[in-house]
Structure 1
Amino acid sequence: MNLIVKSVEKPSRGPLLSSGVRQPPVRAFMDDITVTAKTVIEGRWSLEELERMIKWARMKFKPSKSRSLIVRKGKVQDETFELAGEKIPTVGEKPVKCLGKKFDATLADMVNMGEVQVQLALTEEYKVTKTRQVMTLRDSKVAKVRGAKVKIRTGRKWKAEEAVKEAETRLKHSVIVGVTAVDRQGFGMTTKPRWDTANKKGRRELVQQEIRQMEEESRNVKAVGMKQHAKLDTTRRKKRKMQKNITFVNFVRAGEKKDNQAEGLGILGTASDWQMTADIHQRMSFPAEIAATSLRPDIVICSQGTRQAVLLELTVPWEDRIEEAYERKMAKYQQLVEDCKQRGWRTWCMAIEVGCRGFAGQSMWRALRTLGVVGAERKKLITEVCREAEVASQWIWTKCGKVQSDRTMNSYCVDNGLRTDIDIQNSIDIS
């Protein structure tokens, strides 16, 4: 899925917000994909590219379960998109419900607020009805009904019998407290029914009113808690901004020496005559002045003045084998590092792993930090390396599929006595 998302980012750059932040054109979570574009044309290009990649992956979309929304100058337009030859319904035609909220063409919360109020009213009436049923059976004039011990079925989190007991306890306590005066009211100006003087019908009504009051208090407590949680989250974000200049303490393991190199300088900041050789276009030979060996690391960085050398070995394994690849590469170049140190060279060997699906290992972050590449430069470099790994994996997958199809065609032509000019490569060099 990550390969598909990255390949679809080319037709569109994504909309630019007023804050200067550009949204990604394609976002994916599990089997859901969201496409955003600046114009309708870019959106159609993105859908065409996405459809092509999905077919390549032997999957298909369900346009009937998808939704589209076009907003121009703050107003919702009636234009539509097509996917796999089928029209994608708009949000106005078929509103979508997500996380308990319904999104339609109005883009307003009035409908959601109305539905929430209806749900709250239904919950409250349900509880009142259950408590009335409990009291009716408990206080019945018929002895057999009172002794039947009928159980009122409710949910696991709320019990009608317990709610009735709590409401009666609150009403008895209110008799002891009495009627409280509010604002400038005088004593005895407000009267309310009392629990100790009410009959059975009156007590049922008092319990029902108390249940409604308890439900309202519960809603108020949740609302206040959500407000306090939002304030706490805002305070935490402010503290994070204030704590940007925190000095971290780096501990040293037993038997190791402290590295006095400052953050941002690293190994590359200790010399100015660095020379780099890479095993890319032609066969590289390890510098003879450092050591004599037949091994060929991917990158060798050396400084003649300070007699320092850095060996970089890149591996692109499956993500589950990153740790195994790291141990294997470090063991491979351990003897070479010892030979370099015996000849008076301060040598580092850094095995770097980047997964074939574009996930960089922790060794990549550590190596760049040790070299002195930190901050935004390190993030940008790792992003580019991961993207190149994804592109290379996609190319290898495409070529393997092409070679397989060519082999099948050649076998068919030979079996049928036909002549063909198809050249089949026996192997693909992916090193």
Structure 2
Amino acid sequence: MVRPGKCIWISTTQIDRDGNGSLPHSRIHQADSPKVFWLNAAAIYSRWILAALEEVVTWAMMKFKPRKSSSMILRKVQITTKFKPQIQGDEIPTIVDNPIKCLGKWFDDTLKHNTSVKAVQTQVIEWLKKADKSGLPGKFKAWVYQHGLLLPRLTWLLMIYDMTVTTVEAVKRKINSHLIKWLRVQPSFTTIGLYSRSSQLQLPLTSTLEEYKVSKSRLVMTLRDSKDSKISKARIQTRTGRKAESILYHKYIVGNTCTGRQGL
């Protein structure tokens, strides 16, 4: 038995269906719900793997739950429902009918993040309303934002989804209005007073935009400088960090310049 949340390696070199030779390795991830199976690029290879899995699982007197799984077959960058994989006589639902969630990220038939980004914005508003209606004093509501319900969860969503800076700034404005309300300061109070690290009065609050930049930088460094060679050599493209890298490269070209009267 394999516990949910674990990872199984299936050696498909031992699978030889109809004398077609060996296949590359495939990794199968199991989550609590739904179950996510990452299979090979070709549909015929996936059928072979499913047939081998069905044989082994049936021998072990186990049973899959296709309703908790989803399948996705791409044909010319479009999702097709022509091929319907089955296991143990039950059809695996497609991603069109059953969107899947893996590590907090939703995958649907659009293959885009637009719907998910709008859902994140709606979720942030709901979190703010829950904190506002909690009945706690204002400073405790601000603590809930920083350490409890909102910012820790929002940081992960900002990292896994491709959000633009303008979208994050819109979320930040909604959060700022609630923080100003909870702290009972004037509505004209600027964000510099909320998140400043150089003023005499510093509040223990972190800007959503700064957390967004930090999380994206962490993502780039994790994928590029990972100790796992399979991750670092995968050349995963991320749509972030170009401006920061260009600034660092420009500083490298300019070098150390003279500043001040003494040329230091």
Q: Calculate the TM-score normalised by the size of structure 1.
A: 0.32
Quick one: higher RCO (CA 8 Å, sep 6+), 1 or 2? 2
Q: Calculate the TM-score normalised by the size of structure 2.
A: 0.50
